[in-house]
Amino acid sequence: MKKMSIGEAIREAMSIRMREDPNVLLFGEDVGAFGGCFGVSAGMFDEFGEKRVRDTPISEGAIIGAAIGSAATGLRPIAEIMMGDFVTVAMDQLVNQAAKMRYMFGGKISLPMVVRLPGGAGVSAAAQHSQSLEAWLTHVPGLKVVYPSTAQDALGLLLASIDDDNPVMFIEHKAMYGMKGDVESFDPIPLGKGDIKRAGSDVTIIATGNMVHAALSAAKTLDADGISAEVLDPRTLYPLDKELIAASVGKTHRVVIATEEVKRGSFGSDVAATIAEEMFDLLDEPIVRVGALNTPVPFAPVLEQTYLPNAQDIVNAVRSKE
Amino acid sequence: MKVSKNEMKDMYLRMERIRAFESKAQTLFAEGKIPGFVHLYLGEEAVATGVCECLRDDDYITSTHRGHGHIIAKGGDLKYMMAELCGKATGYCKGKGGSMHIADGTKGILGANGIVGAGQDIAVGAGLSISYRGTDQVCVCFFGDGSTNQGTFHEALNMASIWKLPIVFVCENNNYGISMCQARHQHIKDVADRGAAYGIPGVAVDGNDVLAVNEAAGEAIARARKGQGPTLLECKTYRWRGHFEGDPGNYKPKAEQEAWLKKDPIPHFRKFLVENDILTEDELNRLDEQAKEELAAAVKFADESPEPDAKTVVEDVYSDIVEEARVR
């Protein structure tokens, strides 16, 4: 067993696969000797050299294009988009090209590529460096979307993402890179398998990314009230582990969904709709969503904390069901 | 560069194949047998042909919405192409792509593309892959003059130039970006001038002269194979038809159209071949026949092929997931 931060776990997963497979390479803005904007690739340049840990110009469209073209011709690229928000600049390459190529070409071209997307708020990075654009990604057929909340999950899920023959969007919360956790396994964690982060019997809190930790904290508070909350982290947003959700909801009959996204049109909303459509008979009460306010991400800490959902919001959401 | 008789013969046949295919596509579209949009390559045959004559099967191309010519010139199979245009199960993409999305991995065809300029960024990836693997392959990136105003053009040429990638950027300047003539959509005459902005050679040639295209492409491709980096090759040509079938192209001045029709690349090349005793009229007629026969077989194949099974709609989104079907 090893203590590792989420950032270190991501670096470890990339390094493991790069040591094993010469077709795996990493490129993006300042990922080389600089070590990446958040230091995730620190040291990799020294180990693997400039060809495999490659700095690119500030050209997000061409970064994704380079991933597509190299994946279509035999490599297994990992592309880092410095801030997840910048993927909007590359949306044509991602949405119209990467996501669609296999289908448009009748299944004849595979794109084994990973796009790493540091997302999330909480560090006063304001409206263009803090967003949670999960819904933009899960909306597009052809993309898989992964969002780990622990070091162990980050490592295992990234290994599986690199091994996957489809474009995988790997969301990393920028405020969580330093979060340490135990890493016991160095094996891939299959995409599409969620995880119960805390077992409970009265309510299921489905949470992603940083909200998993808010949900765990809320669960402790609720315990004192005699409410036993189960915290379910889907880990992969698409494909979604509906079986695990159904099993949990079948036990608790109550659901709160907590994501850091702007609530309107969110991935969390889609999970709510899916449960309402497919598992309505399991529910004793309406589903409640907890999300960010429907505003751009503000700068000043007091404004940003007002914008962001937190553990108390989850506690309130659960209590609203009492 | 010496061009052999066999290469000349091959180029003539490739141009005739494209001409036959596009003429038939025009008719079939008018008859309602091809759904969707069709963007024809008529009049531009010398560009794809002259360039692709220099390529091997393991070289890559990226193409455009006007891609039939590139795919045929790179060795695409007329049967699977025609079946795809007609939305048949036997088509290149099993009826999931249509005219704008034909690809063939076995021939290095990384796809036609419905988004103007998008292939430029994808070509960078193919070039990166070649350079990373250290082979002597090349990637040719075809695009029109209209796409040179997209951000992808700048991103891709910049990235390819700093990494010295083995890419030949072939601009088919057909004088129109949909309805806007070049003089209205950019303040330069020669797209090739833009090569200077990236410190790479920019070469302009007569795109209706297949030998001129072949020679310039040969030099650019040789440079790329030797690791000397990308070239911007501009081939000046003309789009005979509207942007898509159904666009009457009223924005094209009549005199301009007539002048370009006189510069039809195929009779021009045929005359050259006969006058220089390279091929006889008989030999050329036989090649015309061969192209016609191949086309007839392709049309028959498409015609006799079944439509896709509706159930396949949920397949091929992912390598390992079949999407949920609708229950009716």
Q: pLDDT digits over A59-85, tens only? A: 999 999 999 999 999 999 999 999 999
Contact B320 A72 (CB under 8 A): no
Partners of B62 on chain A (C-beta within 8 Å) are 69
Among chain A residues, the shortest Cα distance to B100 is held by: A104
Q: Pick the residue of B96, B129, B130 with the most A CBs within 10 A to test the interface with A by mutation.
A: B129
- Per-residue pLDDT reduced to its tens digit, A22-43: 999 999 999 999 999 999 999 9
CA distances for A201 relative to A70, A172, A198, B204, angstroms: 48, 30, 10, 73
pLDDT at B63: 98
Query: Considering CB atoms only, which of A70, A164, A165 is closest to B125?
Result: A70
Is the pLDDT at B308 greater than 70? The verdict is: yes
Adjacent-strand bridge partners of A168: A114, A144
**Terminal-residue alpha carbon distance, chain B:** 64
Partners of A101 on chain B (C-beta within 8 Å) are 103, 111
Question: How many other C-beta atoms lie within 10 A of the C-beta of residue A123?
Answer: 12
Peptide bond into A296 cis (omega under 30): no
* A272 confidence band (pLDDT: 50, 70, 90): very high
Q: Does residue B16 belong to any structural domain of this protein?
A: yes
Q: Does residue B322 belong to any structural domain of this protein?
A: no
Let me know how long chain A is: 322
Query: Which B-chain residues 154-213 have CB contacts (< 8 A) with chain A?
Result: 155-156, 158-159, 162
Q: Does residue B328 belong to any structural domain of this protein?
A: no
Chain A interface includes B133 (CB < 8 A): yes
User: Rounded to 5 degrees, what are φ and ψ at A108?
Assistant: -95, -10
Say which DSSP state A31 is in.
-
Q: Does residue B326 belong to any structural domain of this protein?
A: no
Partners of B77 on chain A (C-beta within 8 Å) are none
Q: Does residue B321 belong to any structural domain of this protein?
A: no
- Of A312-316, B1-5, B316-320, least confident by mean pLDDT is B1-5
Among chain B residues, the shortest Cα distance to A50 is held by: B132
pLDDT at A320: 87
What is the average per-residue pLDDT within B118-132? Answer: 98
Contact A66 B125 (CB under 8 A): yes
pLDDT at B1: 60
Written as six digits, the tokens of B287 are: 């090649």
Pairing assessment for the beta strands A76-80 and A114-119 based on DSSP bridges: parallel
Say which DSSP state A298 is in.
P
Total structural domains within chain B: 1
What is the average per-residue pLDDT within A289-300? Answer: 98
User: Rounded to 5 degrees, what are φ and ψ at A107?
Assistant: 80, 10
Q: A129, A139, A213, A253: which is the annotated catalytic residue?
A: A129
Residue B326 CB burial class (10 angstroms; 0-12, 13-18, ≥19): exposed
Print the SS3 string covering A53-97. Answer: EEECCCCHHHHHHHHHHHHHCCCEEEEECCCHHHHHHHHHHHHHH
Contact B132 A75 (CB under 8 A): yes
DSSP string, A92-159: IIIIIIITTHHHHTTT------EEEEEE--SSS--TTS----HHHHHTSTT-EEE---SHHHHHHHHH
Q: Which residues contact A130 (CB under 8 A, 6 or more apart)?
A: A85, A119, A120, A121, A122, A123, A297, A304
Per cent of chain A over pLDDT 70 is: 99
Alpha carbon of B131: minimum distance to chain A alpha carbons (Å): 10
Q: Does residue B320 belong to any structural domain of this protein?
A: no
Rama region for B291: left / alpha / beta (φ>0; ψ in -120 to 50; rest): alpha
Contact B159 A141 (CB under 8 A): no
CA distance B125 to B296: 37
- Per-residue pLDDT reduced to its tens digit, B163-210: 999 999 999 999 999 999 999 999 999 999 999 999 999 999 999 999
pLDDT at B328: 83
Q: Does residue B255 belong to any structural domain of this protein?
A: yes
- Per-residue pLDDT reduced to its tens digit, B112-122: 999 999 999 99
Average pLDDT over chain A, rounded to whole? 97
Let me know how long chain B is: 328
Is the CB of residue B213 less than 8 Å from the CB of residue B272?
Answer: no
Alpha carbon of A291: minimum distance to chain B alpha carbons (Å): 28
What is the average per-residue pLDDT within B6-11? Answer: 97
Q: Taking Cα atoms as reference points, which of B112, B234, B100, B245 lies closest to residue B175?
A: B234
Partners of B133 on chain A (C-beta within 8 Å) are 74-75
What is the average per-residue pLDDT within B241-246? Answer: 96
Please give the residue range of the domain that contains residue B298: 5-314
Contact B103 A57 (CB under 8 A): no
**Angle at the Cα of B138 (from A24 to B243), degrees rounded to 5?**
105
Contact B315 A166 (CB under 8 A): no
Query: Considering CB atoms only, which of B130, B159, B316 is closest to A56?
Result: B159
pLDDT at B2: 85
What is the average per-residue pLDDT within B310-320? Answer: 97
* A322 confidence band (pLDDT: 50, 70, 90): low
Query: Considering CB atoms only, which of A66, A74, A75 is closest to B124?
Result: A66
Pairing assessment for the beta strands A180-183 and A2-5 based on DSSP bridges: antiparallel
Is the CB of residue A246 less than 8 Å from the CB of residue A277?
Answer: no
Q: Does residue B327 belong to any structural domain of this protein?
A: no
Contact A104 B130 (CB under 8 A): no
CA distances for B91 relative to B105, B139, B299, B304, angstroms: 14, 25, 12, 12
Q: Which amino acid is at A32?
A: G
Contact A106 B128 (CB under 8 A): no
Written as six digits, the tokens of B93 are: 């993409």
Question: How many other C-beta atoms lie within 10 A of the C-beta of residue B254?
Answer: 8
Written as six digits, the tokens of A303 are: 């404004």
Alpha carbon of A110: minimum distance to chain B alpha carbons (Å): 7
Q: Taking Cα atoms as reference points, which of B224, B300, B237 lies closest to residue B15?
A: B237
Q: Pick the residue of B155, B159, B163, B313 with the most A CBs within 10 A to test the interface with A by mutation.
A: B155
Q: Taking Cα atoms as reference points, which of A142, A23, A117, A14 lies closest to residue A63?
A: A117
Alpha carbon of B80: minimum distance to chain A alpha carbons (Å): 12
pLDDT at A164: 98
Helices B45-52, B210-225: inter-axial angle, 10-degree rounding: 40
Q: Which residues contact B93 (CB under 8 A, 6 or more apart)?
A: A104, A105, A106, A108, B84, B101, B102, B103
CA distance A191 to B93: 27
Helices A311-319, A210-224: inter-axial angle, 10-degree rounding: 50
Domains and CATH numbers, chain A: 2-183 (3.40.50.970), 195-319 (3.40.50.920)
Chain A interface includes B99 (CB < 8 A): no
Active site residue A173: no
Alpha carbon of B185: minimum distance to chain A alpha carbons (Å): 22
> Looking at residue B84, which CATH number applies to its domain?
3.40.50.970
Partners of B93 on chain A (C-beta within 8 Å) are 104-106, 108
Among chain B residues, the shortest Cα distance to A51 is held by: B132
Q: In the block, which residue shows the tokens 């990384």?
A: B110
